[in-house]
Amino acid sequence: MTRIGIIGLGIMGGPMASNLLRAGFDVIGFDVVPSALERLAAQGGTNAVSAAQAAAESDVVITMLPNHPQVEAVALGEGGVLDSAKPGSLYIDMSSIRPETARKLAAVGAERGVRVLDAPVSGGEKGAIDGVLSIMVGGAAQDFAAAAPIFDVLGKTVVHVGPAGAGQTVKAANQLVVGGTYALVAEAVVLLEASGIDANVGLDVLAGGLAGSRILELKRKSMVERQFAPGFRIDLHHKDMGIILDASRDAGVALPVGNLVAALIASARAQGYGQLDHSALLKVAENLSGK
Ligand code: NAD
């Protein structure tokens, strides 16, 4: 049986580990938060005492960590994943990080005989729980094929988008669209409510027309009811906007709307909403209008 190591058992990594266990994989996990390890053990997974142990004792290692400093510390450090993984094994980073770091992981992996994929995801906590994530994969075609049985458990739309780092670039484009959509849905709610229209009713109609989106489908009710428990934290989207703006500079393109969305998300964070779901951009839109 393929043994999978998962490092980072948070909002996304936790349910991903559960789905792999349910699908019959043997899972060994590591997280710095003890309660995350307890949840894994309660479902039949094995707890590792370190990322190195999770990597050394598996055929495929997955990281699902907040950002590139955590990924670099876990993967590149002494006794890290690439130092400890078996030669010929597969390392899949599924965190959302900058493409540059993904390319570095692949280069170091190649030196050590470890095959590396970048495979960030979209679909949120619900997509992770339901095993229907969109997974955008960068790396070699044969490594993508080797990882297919794992991706099939975690996701519904799984696409090999190019060489190392390409998955992260596609994820940056995804976050650009998601951030912009939330910002505009927030403005729509403010406009509807200030005009005396029930925003739930208004957004219901929008959801069925050309303005319809997964965000309207899944989030309109909680947004209108001001339920901002994460989900996906503003702090993480702020991180993603940094990745997007860096990528735009590297590619030599202008993203005027993207820059505006980045400023709105930075403002949300500055106003103390960093730990709330990114749908809390509604609070920024309200504050701008004195509502
Ligand atoms: P999270 O903070 O809930 O989970 C991250 C986990 O990593 C935590 O349990 C934390 O304790 C653990 N961790 C941190 N440093 C560690 C270390 N050195 N060693 C071991 N464990 C460590 O975050 P999340 O929401 O699960 O997001 C993870 C990644 O997935 C991020 O890059 C995020 O941008 C991306 N993502 C999140 C969502 C979402 O809706 N939450 C959706 C798509 C992509």
Mutate to test the pocket of ligand 1, among 39, 126, 236 (most ligand atoms within 8 A of CB): 236
- Please spell the DSSP secondary structure of 87-143, one letter per residue: TT-EEEE-S---HHHHHHHHHHHHHHT-EEEE--EESHHHHHHHT-EEEEEES-HHH
Mutate to test the pocket of ligand 1, among 47, 64, 81 (most ligand atoms within 8 A of CB): 64
The total number of structural domains in the chain stands at 2
Ligand 1 pocket, CB under 6 A: 7-13, 30-33, 36, 51, 64-66, 70, 73-74, 95-96, 121-122, 124-125, 231-232, 236
Percentage of residues in the chain having pLDDT higher than 90: 98
Q: Residues 6 or more apart from 280 whose CB is under 8 A from it?
A: 228, 234, 268, 273
Q: In 3-state terms, the chain is what percent helix, strand and coil (to 5)?
A: 55, 15, 30
Angle between helix 234-251 and helix 256-270 axes, rounded to 10 deg: 150
Q: Residues 6 or more apart from 156 whose CB is under 8 A from it?
A: 131, 132, 133, 134
Domain end residue (candidates: 163, 181, 204):
163
Owning domain of residue 275: 169-288
Same domain, 12 and 80: yes
CATH number at residue 60: 3.40.50.720
Same domain, 13 and 122: yes
Q: How many CB atoms lie within 10 A of CB 41?
A: 11
Q: From the alpha carbon of 33, which atom of ligand 1 is closest?
A: 11
Same domain, 126 and 265: no
Same domain, 76 and 12: yes
Residue 129 burial (10 A CB sphere; 0-12, 13-18, 19+): middle
Structure tokens at 70: 């955590």
Residue 1's pLDDT is 66
Same domain, 30 and 154: yes
ipTM field? 0.99
The answer to whether the CB of 25 falls within 8 A of the CB of 2 is: yes
CA of 78 to the centre of ligand 1 (A): 21
Same domain, 269 and 130: no
Same domain, 230 and 100: no
Known active-site residue 171: yes
Same domain, 27 and 92: yes
Mutate to test the pocket of ligand 1, among 16, 31, 132 (most ligand atoms within 8 A of CB): 31
Same domain, 181 and 143: no
CA of 211 to the centre of ligand 1 (A): 30
Mean pLDDT of the chain: 97
pLDDT tens, position by position, 66-79: 999 999 999 997 88
CA of 200 to the centre of ligand 1 (A): 31
Beta bridge partner(s), residue 159: 136
Q: How far apart are CA 61 and CA 230, in angstroms?
A: 26
Domain end residue (candidates: 163, 196, 211):
163
Same domain, 115 and 178: no
Chain centroid, CA 247 distance in Å: 17
* Euclidean distance between the first and the last CA atom of the chain, given in angstroms as a whole number: 57
Same domain, 130 and 195: no
CA of 31 to the centre of ligand 1 (A): 10
CATH number at residue 228: 1.10.1040.10
Catalytic residue among 86, 104, 126, 171: 171
Domain end residue (candidates: 163, 180, 211):
163
Same domain, 190 and 152: no
pLDDT along the chain (291 residues), means of 10: 94 98 98 98 98 97 97 93 96 97 98 97 96 98 98 98 98 98 98 98 97 95 96 96 97 98 98 98 98 96
